[in-house]
Amino acid sequence: MAIFGFKKRKDEKLQQGAEMAKGLTDKKPIKRTSVVEGKTSQKTSTKVPAPKVSVPALHSDSASNTASVILRPRITEKSGVMSQNGVYTFEVTKNSNKALIAKAVTTLYKVVPTKISIINTPIRNVFVKGRRGTVAGIKKAVVTVKKGDKIDFV
């Protein structure tokens, strides 16, 4: 959801940068007129192309970076019951996605996941012992593996 059009403007800037890199846009002169104390003057200037925008890669394909996507297994009472059915829960980094999580599970645990669900928990405000505080939000991944495959958290 784009609030106040920020995301839309960002996407337009990235698209313009990509077009500039490909050379699809051309330089057009811009005519500007200004009125100063009743006198009009025309100025022509050429549009300066924006610098090339390069999008950095978030993760490379090395095993260390894909393994660093998974922070730790999330071991709770509910996840213990779910693990008996082949469903495991992990805490993952904020910028991870399903493809990166799948690669990380295969490299770390040598198991191919069949289904991955991602849950973002928001930051919560709490009031403990008369003081205000926050509980950090996390990103969880619920990974389902084939029947018969198991993951050991040792």
Per-residue pLDDT at 65: 77
Per-residue pLDDT at 105: 94
Read off the pLDDT band of 21 (50, 70, 90). Answer: low
Rounded to two decimals, the pTM is: 0.56
- Tell me the average pLDDT across 23-38: 55
Q: Which residues contact 50 (CB under 8 A, 6 or more apart)?
A: 13, 16, 17, 20
The 3-state DSSP class for residue 48 equals coil
Q: Are 20 and 52 in contact (CB under 8 A)?
A: yes
Q: Tally DSSP H helices, then E strands, for the chain.
A: 4, 8
Q: Are 139 and 93 in contact (CB under 8 A)?
A: yes
Instruction: Map tokens 């009125």 to a residue.
Output: 35
* Domains of the chain: residue spans and CATH: 6-46 (no CATH), 63-145 (3.30.70.330)
Q: Which residues contact 12 (CB under 8 A, 6 or more apart)?
A: none
